[in-house]
């Protein structure tokens, strides 16, 4: 039986797809057979971040409509043979996804996979709803910024009332906070909400902090999930997050600023 | 105190302003999230009933719904005007 993870946020542009690609790769690299599904019908991008855009033949909606089998649509990742990508449809409208269809596909995947990562679209429309509906765990990606924090809170409300687990009065979805695009320097200057601030407001279990990092853009430019760049801070942050999710005890990093020469000279204390 | 700190004090940081605004907003949105969806209509209908007898304004009535672990409370507050009745 697979564990279903939704990567969600409400707000767009906070790093859902980057996170989905990274954690799916991280779980697969640890030897768990993992599928990552793009729920953003009409605006697919996971294929691009995963670097498999030229190998898309069939998509999620084709499988729901019975035009292709799941095996035909799943794309095996070129870096890791435990990882498969199910791309979203680029042409059809959002109504192409149905709760019944999504449920069937997740059930079929569950027989064969250990983890299923659902990359949610932004917003709270149908695609986002279906991405979180069947989830066991939710990774709430938040930027330390007012609109993102507010939207995350809204998403938490939806997770606890509109999901399958809520509707069937099962054990609630486990919710985790992933604070991304974090800049310890700006936090220190008082220009950015700190990890503690965000946790005070959202009261979520912190899975990890991903620092604002040039390596994220470099990774997406070349279509390689950033977690494979193990020299980069963001890559290491995602590796920590995957390890913590799997139960390893790793101290949090990237919360305090690295002191440069200037900081060392004038930093005091 | 370092040289840098000297220049950056004296001003409420924008992050603390952000935190305060968010705390108020999120608390407010959470209470309305847990309210049953019939509340606005209930409020409207109660208002109509009261207006049959007393001349009150739209904002004379407040409906508050509160929920804790073991009970739900519906609080109704109606402000009657000093000078009232419609004569019958």
**The predicted structure's pLDDT at residue B8:** 54
Chain B closest-CA separation from residue A260 CA (Å): 13
Residues of B in Cβ contact (< 8 Å) with A266: 2-4
Chain B closest-CA separation from residue A73 CA (Å): 39
Q: What is the tens place of the pLDDT at every residue in B11-61? A: 689 999 999 999 999 998 887 777 777 888 888 888 888 888 888 887 888
Q: Do A201 and B23 touch (CB under 8 A)?
A: yes
Helix, strand or coil for residue B78?
strand
What per-residue string of b and e applies to B51-71 under the rule 16 or more CB within 10 Å gives b? eeeeebeeebbebeeeeeeee
User: Across chain A, where does the E strand assignment appear?
Assistant: 3-8, 34-38, 75-76, 83-86, 115-119, 137-142, 174-182, 205-211
Q: Which residues make beta-bridge pairs with A36?
A: A85, A117
pTM above 0.90, yes or no: no
For B81, which DSSP code?
A: P
Q: What is the tens place of the pLDDT at every residue in A26-35? A: 999 999 999 9
Pairing of strands A137-142, A75-76: unpaired
For B3, which DSSP code?
A: H
Which of A197, A203, A259, A267 best probes binding to B when mutated, by most B CB atoms within 10 angstroms? A197
H/E run at residue B32: helix B14-33
Residues of B in Cβ contact (< 8 Å) with A149: 22, 26
Which of B22, B24, B25, B34 best probes binding to A when mutated, by most A CB atoms within 10 angstroms? B22
Q: What is the tens place of the pLDDT at every residue in A57-112? A: 999 999 999 999 999 999 999 999 999 999 999 876 667 899 999 999 999 999 99
More confident residue, B39 or A53: A53
Q: Which CA distances in Å does A206 have to A141, A152, A180, A203, B27?
A: 11, 14, 11, 9, 20
Chain A closest-CA separation from residue B21 CA (Å): 8
Please give the average per-residue pLDDT across A117-137, as a whole number.
96
* CA closest to B3 among chain A residues: A266
For A189, which DSSP code?
A: T
């Amino acid at each position: 039986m697979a564990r279903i993870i939704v990567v969600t946020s409400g707000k767009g542009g906070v790093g859902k797809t980057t996170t989905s690609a990274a954690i799916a790769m991280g779980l697969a690299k640890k030897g768990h057979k993992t599928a990552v599904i793009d729920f953003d019908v009409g605006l697919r991008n996971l294929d691009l971040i995963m670097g498999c855009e030229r190998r898309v033949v069939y998509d999620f909606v084709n499988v729901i409509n019975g035009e292709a089998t799941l095996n035909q649509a799943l794309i095996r990742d070129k870096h890791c043979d435990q990882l498969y990508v199910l791309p979203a449809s680029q042409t059809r409208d959002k109504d192409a996804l149905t709760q019944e269809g999504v449920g069937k596909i997740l059930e079929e995947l569950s027989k064969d996979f250990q983890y299923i990562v659902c990359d949610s679209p932004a917003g709270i429309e149908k695609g986002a709803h279906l991405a979180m509906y069947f989830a066991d765990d939710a990774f709430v990606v938040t930027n330390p910024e007012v609109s993102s924090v507010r939207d995350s809170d809204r998403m938490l409300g939806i997770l606890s009332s509109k999901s399958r687990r809520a509707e069937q009065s099962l054990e609630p979805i486990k919710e985790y906070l992933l604070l991304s695009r974090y800049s310890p320097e700006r936090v220190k200057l008082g220009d950015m909400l700190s990890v503690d601030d965000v946790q005070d407001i959202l009261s979520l279990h912190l899975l990890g902090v991903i620092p604002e990092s040039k390596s994220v853009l470099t990774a997406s430019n070349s279509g390689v999930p950033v977690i494979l760049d193990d020299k980069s801070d963001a890559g290491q942050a995602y590796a920590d997050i995957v390890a913590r999710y799997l139960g390893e005890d790793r101290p949090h990093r990237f919360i305090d600023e690295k002191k440069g020469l200037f900081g060392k000279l004038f930093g005091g204390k | 105190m370092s040289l840098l700190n000297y220049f950056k004090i004296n001003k409420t940081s924008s992050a603390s302003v952000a935190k305060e605004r968010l705390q108020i907003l999120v608390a407010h949105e959470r209470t309305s999230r847990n309210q049953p969806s019939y509340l606005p209509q209930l409020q409207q209908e109660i208002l109509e009933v009261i207006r049959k007898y007393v001349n009150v304004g739209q904002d004379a009535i407040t409906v508050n719904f509160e929920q804790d672990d073991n009970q739900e409370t519906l609080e109704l507050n109606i402000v009657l005007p000093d000078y009232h009745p419609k004569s019958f």
